[in-house]
A and B are shown apart, each in its own frame.
Chain A
Amino acid sequence: KAGVTQTPRYLIKTRGQQVTLSCSPISGHRSVSWYQQTPGQGLQFLFEYFSETQRNKGNFPGRFSGRQFSNSRSEMNVSTLELGDSALYLCASSLVYSQETQYFGPGTRLLVL
Protein backbone atom coordinates (compact mmCIF):
# COMPACT_ATOMS: atom_id res chain seq x y z
CA LYS A 1 0.00 0.00 0.00
CA ALA A 2 1.29 3.43 -0.84
CA GLY A 3 1.90 5.73 2.11
CA VAL A 4 0.62 9.23 2.72
CA THR A 5 1.75 11.59 -0.02
CA GLN A 6 2.05 15.34 0.14
CA THR A 7 2.61 17.84 -2.61
CA PRO A 8 4.52 19.96 -3.15
CA ARG A 9 7.48 18.96 -1.00
CA TYR A 10 9.05 22.42 -0.98
CA LEU A 11 7.57 25.83 -1.53
CA ILE A 12 8.84 29.39 -1.40
CA LYS A 13 6.33 32.22 -1.20
CA THR A 14 6.39 35.89 -0.30
CA ARG A 15 4.42 37.67 2.38
CA GLY A 16 0.83 38.37 1.46
CA GLN A 17 0.55 35.50 -1.01
CA GLN A 18 -1.60 32.46 -0.47
CA VAL A 19 -0.67 28.80 -0.71
CA THR A 20 -2.48 25.48 -1.13
CA LEU A 21 -0.97 22.21 0.08
CA SER A 22 -2.28 18.79 -0.85
CA CYS A 23 -2.40 15.49 1.02
CA SER A 24 -3.44 12.06 -0.25
CA PRO A 25 -4.07 9.59 2.58
CA ILE A 26 -3.37 5.89 2.59
CA SER A 27 -5.96 4.06 0.53
CA GLY A 28 -8.99 3.29 2.69
CA HIS A 29 -8.14 5.87 5.34
CA ARG A 30 -10.86 8.43 5.86
CA SER A 31 -9.47 10.68 8.58
CA VAL A 32 -6.90 13.30 7.60
CA SER A 33 -5.21 15.60 10.12
CA TRP A 34 -2.86 18.52 9.50
CA TYR A 35 -0.04 19.69 11.75
CA GLN A 36 2.39 22.58 11.66
CA GLN A 37 5.94 22.09 12.91
CA THR A 38 8.21 25.03 13.75
CA PRO A 39 11.39 25.20 15.84
CA GLY A 40 9.73 27.56 18.30
CA GLN A 41 6.29 26.01 18.73
CA GLY A 42 6.98 22.38 17.93
CA LEU A 43 4.25 20.23 16.43
CA GLN A 44 0.81 21.81 16.61
CA PHE A 45 -2.53 20.47 15.44
CA LEU A 46 -4.24 22.48 12.74
CA PHE A 47 -7.41 20.55 11.89
CA GLU A 48 -8.88 17.15 11.15
CA TYR A 49 -11.24 16.12 8.38
CA PHE A 50 -13.44 13.08 8.09
CA SER A 51 -16.05 12.41 5.40
CA GLU A 52 -15.51 15.88 3.93
CA THR A 53 -16.32 17.54 7.27
CA GLN A 54 -14.00 19.33 9.63
CA ARG A 55 -14.21 17.29 12.80
CA ASN A 56 -11.75 19.19 14.98
CA LYS A 57 -9.80 22.42 14.82
CA GLY A 58 -6.71 23.74 16.56
CA ASN A 59 -5.93 27.26 17.69
CA PHE A 60 -4.90 28.86 14.43
CA PRO A 61 -6.24 32.04 12.82
CA GLY A 62 -8.88 31.93 10.13
CA ARG A 63 -6.19 32.41 7.47
CA PHE A 64 -5.65 28.67 7.81
CA SER A 65 -8.39 26.61 6.21
CA GLY A 66 -8.82 23.20 4.74
CA ARG A 67 -11.14 20.87 2.98
CA GLN A 68 -11.54 17.21 2.16
CA PHE A 69 -12.81 15.68 -1.02
CA SER A 70 -15.00 12.63 -1.52
CA ASN A 71 -11.92 10.47 -2.22
CA SER A 72 -10.50 11.54 1.20
CA ARG A 73 -7.77 13.68 -0.33
CA SER A 74 -7.34 16.88 1.60
CA GLU A 75 -6.04 20.34 0.93
CA MET A 76 -5.07 23.11 3.29
CA ASN A 77 -4.87 26.74 2.34
CA VAL A 78 -3.08 29.60 4.02
CA SER A 79 -4.05 33.07 2.88
CA THR A 80 -2.16 36.33 3.38
CA LEU A 81 1.06 34.57 4.29
CA GLU A 82 3.20 35.89 7.13
CA LEU A 83 6.87 35.24 7.84
CA GLY A 84 5.83 33.17 10.87
CA ASP A 85 3.98 30.73 8.63
CA SER A 86 7.33 29.31 7.51
CA ALA A 87 7.17 25.75 8.75
CA LEU A 88 7.00 22.08 7.94
CA TYR A 89 3.37 21.16 7.31
CA LEU A 90 2.60 17.53 8.01
CA CYS A 91 -0.44 15.55 7.06
CA ALA A 92 -1.47 12.35 8.81
CA SER A 93 -4.10 9.77 7.96
CA SER A 94 -5.88 7.12 9.97
CA LEU A 95 -8.66 4.67 9.24
CA VAL A 96 -11.57 6.37 10.92
CA TYR A 97 -10.55 8.14 14.08
CA SER A 98 -7.41 10.11 14.75
CA GLN A 99 -7.31 8.22 18.05
CA GLU A 100 -6.09 5.29 16.00
CA THR A 101 -2.58 4.85 14.69
CA GLN A 102 -1.70 7.87 12.59
CA TYR A 103 0.56 7.65 9.57
CA PHE A 104 2.37 10.78 8.50
CA GLY A 105 3.38 12.00 5.09
CA PRO A 106 6.83 13.42 4.29
CA GLY A 107 5.63 16.99 4.79
CA THR A 108 5.71 20.22 2.82
CA ARG A 109 8.43 22.72 3.75
CA LEU A 110 7.08 26.23 3.29
CA LEU A 111 9.39 29.22 3.36
CA VAL A 112 7.81 32.67 3.42
CA LEU A 113 10.10 35.54 2.42
Chain B
Amino acid sequence: GIQVEQSPPDLILQEGANSTLRCNFSDSVNNLQWFHQNPWGQLINLFYIPSGTKQNGRLSATTVATERYSLLYISSSQTTDSGVYFCAGSGGTASKLTFGTGTRLQVTL
Protein backbone atom coordinates (compact mmCIF):
# COMPACT_ATOMS: atom_id res chain seq x y z
CA GLY B 1 0.00 0.00 0.00
CA ILE B 2 0.86 3.65 -0.14
CA GLN B 3 3.29 5.01 2.45
CA VAL B 4 2.87 8.60 3.64
CA GLU B 5 5.66 10.61 5.24
CA GLN B 6 5.10 13.96 6.90
CA SER B 7 7.65 16.51 7.99
CA PRO B 8 8.50 18.04 10.32
CA PRO B 9 7.04 15.86 13.08
CA ASP B 10 6.92 18.77 15.52
CA LEU B 11 6.86 22.51 15.02
CA ILE B 12 6.75 25.38 17.49
CA LEU B 13 5.96 28.84 16.15
CA GLN B 14 5.40 32.26 17.58
CA GLU B 15 2.09 33.82 16.74
CA GLY B 16 2.31 35.63 13.41
CA ALA B 17 4.96 33.36 11.91
CA ASN B 18 4.56 31.40 8.68
CA SER B 19 5.20 27.71 8.19
CA THR B 20 5.30 24.99 5.56
CA LEU B 21 4.33 21.39 6.21
CA ARG B 22 5.29 18.67 3.78
CA CYS B 23 3.77 15.36 2.81
CA ASN B 24 5.52 12.76 0.61
CA PHE B 25 3.85 9.74 -0.95
CA SER B 26 5.50 6.48 -1.96
CA ASP B 27 3.24 6.08 -4.97
CA SER B 28 0.92 8.16 -7.07
CA VAL B 29 -2.36 9.17 -5.46
CA ASN B 30 -5.62 10.31 -6.98
CA ASN B 31 -7.03 11.48 -3.69
CA LEU B 32 -5.10 13.70 -1.29
CA GLN B 33 -6.57 15.50 1.70
CA TRP B 34 -5.22 17.64 4.52
CA PHE B 35 -6.81 17.58 7.96
CA HIS B 36 -6.39 19.46 11.22
CA GLN B 37 -7.03 17.58 14.44
CA ASN B 38 -7.88 19.84 17.34
CA PRO B 39 -7.01 19.03 20.97
CA TRP B 40 -10.39 17.35 21.44
CA GLY B 41 -9.71 14.87 18.65
CA GLN B 42 -11.98 16.32 15.98
CA LEU B 43 -10.55 15.97 12.48
CA ILE B 44 -11.41 18.92 10.27
CA ASN B 45 -10.99 18.67 6.54
CA LEU B 46 -8.85 21.54 5.28
CA PHE B 47 -8.31 20.69 1.63
CA TYR B 48 -9.17 18.06 -0.91
CA ILE B 49 -6.28 18.58 -3.31
CA PRO B 50 -5.15 15.71 -5.54
CA SER B 51 -3.31 18.25 -7.70
CA GLY B 52 -2.80 21.97 -8.10
CA THR B 53 -3.09 24.78 -5.58
CA LYS B 54 -5.93 25.91 -3.35
CA GLN B 55 -6.26 28.68 -0.82
CA ASN B 56 -8.61 29.20 2.07
CA GLY B 57 -7.91 32.29 4.12
CA ARG B 58 -4.50 32.01 5.78
CA LEU B 59 -4.10 28.44 4.61
CA SER B 60 -3.07 27.24 1.20
CA ALA B 61 -1.98 23.90 -0.22
CA THR B 62 -0.12 22.73 -3.27
CA THR B 63 0.12 19.21 -4.61
CA VAL B 64 2.63 18.21 -7.26
CA ALA B 65 1.19 14.85 -8.21
CA THR B 66 3.97 13.94 -10.64
CA GLU B 67 6.55 14.33 -7.86
CA ARG B 68 4.36 12.73 -5.20
CA TYR B 69 4.33 15.47 -2.63
CA SER B 70 2.04 18.08 -1.17
CA LEU B 71 2.69 21.20 0.88
CA LEU B 72 0.48 22.99 3.37
CA TYR B 73 1.25 26.64 4.03
CA ILE B 74 0.09 28.42 7.15
CA SER B 75 0.57 32.17 7.16
CA SER B 76 0.30 34.57 10.10
CA SER B 77 -0.22 31.67 12.48
CA GLN B 78 -2.59 32.01 15.42
CA THR B 79 -2.83 30.05 18.66
CA THR B 80 -6.00 28.44 17.34
CA ASP B 81 -3.90 26.82 14.60
CA SER B 82 -2.31 24.57 17.22
CA GLY B 83 -3.00 20.87 16.89
CA VAL B 84 -1.93 18.05 14.63
CA TYR B 85 -1.98 18.31 10.86
CA PHE B 86 -2.45 15.14 8.86
CA CYS B 87 -2.24 14.47 5.18
CA ALA B 88 -3.88 11.37 3.77
CA GLY B 89 -4.20 9.82 0.37
CA SER B 90 -5.36 6.89 -1.66
CA GLY B 91 -4.44 5.66 -5.10
CA GLY B 92 -5.86 3.57 -7.91
CA THR B 93 -9.26 2.16 -7.11
CA ALA B 94 -8.58 1.95 -3.39
CA SER B 95 -11.17 3.77 -1.38
CA LYS B 96 -9.33 3.84 1.92
CA LEU B 97 -7.27 6.80 3.05
CA THR B 98 -3.74 6.16 4.30
CA PHE B 99 -2.72 8.78 6.84
CA GLY B 100 0.69 10.16 7.61
CA THR B 101 1.94 10.32 11.18
CA GLY B 102 1.13 14.01 11.39
CA THR B 103 2.87 17.29 12.20
CA ARG B 104 2.22 18.54 15.73
CA LEU B 105 2.06 22.35 15.64
CA GLN B 106 2.18 24.55 18.69
CA VAL B 107 1.69 28.28 18.26
CA THR B 108 2.78 30.38 21.21
CA LEU B 109 2.07 34.00 22.09
Contacts and interface: CB of A to CB of B under 8 A. Distances in A.
Interface residues of B, number: 23
Interface of B: 30-31, 33, 35, 40-45, 48, 86, 88, 90, 94-102
B97 A103 contact: no
B42 A56 contact: no
A102 B33 contact: yes
B86 A43 contact: yes
Contacts of B48: 100-101
B42 A43 contact: no
Contact of B95 (A44, A55, A106): A55
A74 interface: no
B72 to A, nearest CB: 16
A104 B33 contact: no
A103 B45 CA distance: 6
Contacts of A42: 99-102
Nearest to B49: A101
B41 A88 contact: yes
- Top 9 closest pairs, chain A to chain B, by CB: A43-B99, A104-B43, A45-B96, A99-B31, A101-B48, A98-B95, A56-B95, A107-B41, A56-B96
A45 B42 contact: no
